[in-house]
Amino acid sequence: MDHKAQIKVNDNGSLRITGDVELVDKEGNSYQTKKSFSLCRCGNSSNKPFCDGTHRKIGFESKPRAK
């Protein structure tokens, strides 16, 4: 049985991706990922597109909710 991939929007932090997904750049090149990884949402990571925890240091705030 296939499980859906999940993208979780963390309060004041990253996008947590869990499941079988392929992350590619604009040219179609694949990034090496694990079954669970985090993408930067604050724009200040030194390891973009991945989160490096910088959001905590800069006080990034965002708590969107689904409607």
Per-residue pLDDT of 1-51, as tens digits, reads 568 999 999 999 999 999 999 999 999 999 999 999 999 999 999 999 999
DSSP state of 34: -
Tell me, what's the pLDDT at 2? 66
CA distance 30 to 50: 13
User: pTM score, two decimals?
Assistant: 0.90
Write the CA distances from 13 to 1, 45, 49, integer angstroms: 31, 11, 13
Tell me, what's the pLDDT at 31? 98
Average pLDDT over residues 49-56: 98
On whether the CB atoms of residues 35 and 18 are closer than 8 A, the answer is yes
The token duo for 59 is 């006080």
DSSP state of 3: P
